[in-house]
Amino acid sequence: MTASSSEHGPRYRACSTFDPLLTELVDCLPIAVVLVSKTGDIDYLNARAQALVRDAGLTSTDFAKSMVAASGEGHERPRLTVKGLEGARTFGYQTTLLSGGARLIAFQDITQFEQTQAERNRLLQLASISEVMPAVLHELKNPLASIALAMELLIEDSPEDQRERLHGILSEVRRLSLTLDGLGRFRHEVRSTRHHAIDLALREAFALLEPQAAARGIIAKLDVHDMPLLPFEPAAVRAVLFNLMTNAIHACTAGQRIEAHAHFDRDASAMTLRVADTGAGMTTEVQQRCTELFFTTKSRGSGIGLALCAGVAEAVAGTLTVDSAPAQGTRITLTFPITPGVSDVSN
């Protein structure tokens, strides 16, 4: 065997097992090939094998040894996952025993396939959950509403020394109800035939979310201007704030900040809601897909939050803009236009 040196380890060339013509043919194959001698030495990597190893940021020697070791373990679905300079990569392979005891290992990079399959399985699971979600939410929200009402009445009739604990329970019930609103607004109207105190709804929602941020050491502030009564469903707007705040909390660590802001612009006849954080931020690729339903970068995320917010903005012919960069935080702004003739309502 002859070999020449490279920055990724030795480049294996023709050996006594292959004649020059066969070597040239194997080098033209679109699949990666490793030839292992009877003694376990690496005799040959074809051009495709060297390219895969190089693209993964691995050394030929270390990768080939890992492949040889894995190929002798008799896996039912043979695959090898290795960590290189470019992150973890998964390779599927097949081993053929040659005459004289040598082994020919053909392999390919299946990292993207594995990721796509995992994403497909996750989407199928979420899709099945979404079919039953409306019924589940309905069954949960009705008793929660009854519990909240009962707690409010109980607080009024309770001694002063018990009210603080009861208020704590009531806050948890309201927080659960807000969480359910955050999960279930896809199938509900955003505009309303009645006018509501949206500024009050936002303040109430923030009051339930701020303790979650504080528990993580995150500083959360709210700036909501007094607004006229607006023709939006309070639950829909609360759901937007819930999802934006929840994402911001997950993106931040102790000492970082979240600032929520909302105001009504009479000249533009629109309400603006913005949540900005100083957290991890998004890459360009994530930012381009962040409003896709079920898309998430979190291992236990649902990928529903920003998709819901985008759906709410679309339902009122509004806009959702995302400004973000890695390690520089994220700012998400939604506008809620008012239909003509509605913006002149009085405070």
- Between CA 34 and CA 42 the distance in angstroms is 7
- What distances in angstroms separate CA 182 from CA 127, 188, 245, 294, 309, one per listed residue? 17, 11, 11, 14, 9
**How do strand 270-277 and strand 257-265 relate by DSSP bridges?**
antiparallel
Q: Residue range 332-337: average pLDDT?
A: 96
**Strand, helix or coil at 291?**
coil
Q: Provide the total of helices (H) and of strands (E) in the chain, helices listed first.
A: 9, 14
**Strand, helix or coil at 102?**
coil
* Angle 202-185-271 from CA coordinates, rounded to 5°: 40
- What distances in angstroms separate CA 318 from CA 7, 101, 198, 335, one per listed residue? 54, 69, 16, 5
From 62-71, 165-174, 239-248, the region with the lowest mean pLDDT: 62-71
Q: Which two tokens stand for residue 169?
A: 């329970």
Asked if pLDDT for residue 3 goes beyond 80, the answer is no
Asked if pLDDT for residue 244 goes beyond 50, the answer is yes
337 pLDDT band, cuts 50/70/90, is: very high
Closest listed residue to residue 219, CA positions, set 190, 260, 163: 260
From 18-22, 26-30, 46-50, 261-265, the region with the lowest mean pLDDT: 18-22
Domain 3-109, CATH: 3.30.450
Give the tens place of pLDDT for each residue, 143-156. Answer: 777 887 887 788 88
Structure-token match 């509501």, residue found: 196
84 pLDDT band, cuts 50/70/90, is: low
Residue-level pLDDT at 220: 97
From 241-245, 308-312, 338-342, the region with the lowest mean pLDDT: 338-342
Phi, psi of 118 (to 5 degrees): -65, -40
Q: What is the crossing angle of helices 47-55 and 60-71, to 10°?
A: 110
Higher pLDDT, 29 or 332: 332
Spans of all domains in the chain: 3-109, 114-184, 186-347
Asked if pLDDT for residue 346 goes beyond 50, the answer is no
Asked if pLDDT for residue 217 goes beyond 70, the answer is yes
From 93-102, 131-140, 197-206, the region with the lowest mean pLDDT: 131-140
- Between CA 45 and CA 73 the distance in angstroms is 21
Residue-level pLDDT at 230: 95
Domain 186-347 in CATH: superfamily?
A: Histidine kinase-like ATPase, C-terminal domain (3.30.565.10)
pTM for the whole thing? 0.55
Q: Which two tokens stand for residue 25?
A: 């043919």
* Neighbouring-strand partners of residue 275: 260, 332
Instruction: Give percent of the chain above pLDDT 70.
Output: 72
Phi/psi zone of residue 132: left (φ > 0), alpha (ψ -120 to 50 degrees), beta?
alpha
Closest listed residue to residue 54, CA positions, set 46, 41, 71: 46
- What distances in angstroms separate CA 131 from CA 124, 134, 150, 294, one per listed residue? 11, 7, 31, 14
Phi, psi of 32 (to 5 degrees): -80, 140
Structure-token match 């000492």, residue found: 255
Q: Residue range 234-257: average pLDDT?
A: 92
- Mean pLDDT (the chain) is 78
For residues 92 and 79, is the Cβ–Cβ distance under 8 A? yes
